[in-house]
A = this chain, B = another copy of it.
Amino acid sequence: MTPKIEAFLKDAETDNPFLVVDLDVVEDRYRQLHSSFEEAHIYYAMKANPAKPILERLNKLGSSFDAASLAEIQQCLDAGVTPDRISFGNTLKKKKDIKAAFDLGVDLFVFDCIDELEKIAEVAPGARVYCRILVNRHGAGASWPLSRKFGCSSSMAHELMVRAKALGLVPFGISFHVGSQQLDPAHWGKAIADVAVLFDALGELGITLKMVNIGGGFPARYQDDIPALDDFISFIKNHMKTSFGENWPEIYTEPGRYIVAEAGVLQSEVVCISIKDFAEEIRWVYLDVGKFGGLAETIDESIIYQIATDYDEGEMGPVIIAGPTCDSCDTLYERTFFQLPLDLKTGDRVRILSAGAYTTMYASQGFNGFTPPEEYFV
């Protein structure tokens, strides 16, 4: 926790769960990535957290933006971003939304199938397009795999790029995504090699691609240590050299979690602590925020958040952690061997660390009558 967040939490008087984000951490992460990887254009994956103060800070730093919908594009524009720095980065777009985005000045669209390509050609004539290919199909190494749903095979991408040109679009590049919270740099290597093959094959047909979009996936620190950012970057650079020699295409990257996760702390309150029978040692700890209040990434216990309390120096014991709703699926950690202090009691406040990404916007609009956490910026 940063001093600014600590100070904010000390003075906070609300009884409801809330997220507090230190914008300086956002800036720091952006600068760190930018300086480690000067060759890359950073497209912040705003779905991770599209709050206006975050967009404004990143815009001031010169970031570009990866938007998932027309609404997100509008949020970018509202934050002062110019449309030339927005990529419509969802392979799933309604035709009317493509048209509206194009009319707003957005000129860069992803696709992964003929259906999508034809929609773009129809309503965004002459736009730049990039094709997402399917890599790391089983999400190996990633805590939050992304791979099966998006992208097509390389051979199909090849066909589609030829088609894109025939349809009057600008075949601009190839993208892939190795999975969010990817802990193993090796996955980028294989994908970059696949992209290089496509660049060559299309080049022989007179289609010169200009950009490789290496996706996001750089991890944030939750409970466990993670490899250093530079490990990923130097690995990626080495593979770019191996695959492309000295003539690199433009590199786009779409970090989301990496930029904002560690900037946020979610304050929650212990609603209840119980055991189910006299003989049981494992306590159930119920928080006022759960799967439907922003912690959706605990589905399948994928993301293991660190939970800080006022008793972390004391003796610990095993717990099952659950949210406040009348839904059994709103249980956060049951298989994970989670420990919390024995002194923790009902009414205590706890801090869920690295909660700046994929929390507030995931929250249900009001399941069980609980509204999403408020969000504050320091």
Contacts and interface: CB of A to CB of B under 8 A. Distances in A.
Interface of A: 15, 45, 47, 50, 67-72, 74-75, 89-96, 112-116, 119, 134, 139, 144-153, 155-156, 159, 269, 271-278, 284, 286, 288, 292, 296, 299, 322, 324-331, 334, 346-347, 360-372
B329 A299 contact: yes
Contacts of A372: 365
A274 B115 contact: yes
A326 B152 CA distance: 15
Contact of A146 (B95, B115, B327, B364): B327
A338 to B, nearest CB: 15
A117 to B, nearest CB: 10
Contacts of A92: 271-272, 286, 324-326
Contacts of A116: 272, 274
Nearest to A50: B369
Nearest to A297: B329
Given A47-B326, A364-B365, A346 B274 contact: no
B364 A364 contact: yes
Contacts of A334: 148
A150 B275 CA distance: 10
B331 A276 contact: no
16 contacts: A47-B325, A71-B370, A92-B286, A94-B271, A145-B328, A152-B274, A152-B277, A155-B278, A156-B275, A156-B276, A292-B362, A299-B299, A299-B329, A362-B364, A363-B364, A364-B364
Contacts of A70: 369
Contact of A148 (B134, B144, B328, B364): B328
